[in-house]
């Protein structure tokens, strides 16, 4: 069986794992009563965590490349 459009991993990452994140963002921006302070705090916390994770993974990748493949 071949996957024509999306691999199963893409469905798992973006639908199953990402679903709570999507619901939280929709709740922050579309929910009632709206609290702009909570929305900004949640969004900035999420972006800070994502930046820290991607930055850390990038740093580890570069360190492994330098140590083992140079």
Question: What does the pLDDT look like over 1-30, one tens digit per residue?
Answer: 566 777 878 888 888 888 998 998 898 889
Q: Report if residue 56 sits inside a domain.
A: yes
* Residue 64 maps to a domain: yes
31 found inside a domain: yes
Residue 28 lies in a domain: yes
The total domain count for the chain is 1
The larger pLDDT score, comparing residue 31 to residue 6, is at: 31
- pLDDT number for residue 1: 59
pLDDT at 13: 84
Q: 51 lies in a domain?
A: yes
- Look at residue 24 and tell me if it is in a domain: yes
Query: For the whole prediction, is pTM greater than 0.75?
Result: no
**4 found inside a domain:** no
Q: Which residues of 8-33 are buried (b: 16+ CB within 10 A; e: fewer)?
A: eeeeeeeeeeeeeeeeeeeebeeeee
| Domain assignment of residue 58, given as a range | 9-69
Would the pLDDT of 40 be above 80? yes
């Amino acid at each position: 069986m071949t996957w024509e459009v999306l691999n199963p991993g893409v469905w798992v990452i973006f639908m199953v794992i990402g679903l709570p994140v999507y619901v939280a963002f929709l709740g922050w921006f579309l929910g009632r009563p709206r609290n702009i302070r909570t929305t900004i705090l949640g969004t900035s916390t999420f972006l800070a965590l994502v930046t820290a994770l991607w930055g850390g993974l990038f740093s580890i990748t570069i360190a492994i490349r330098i140590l083992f493949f140079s």
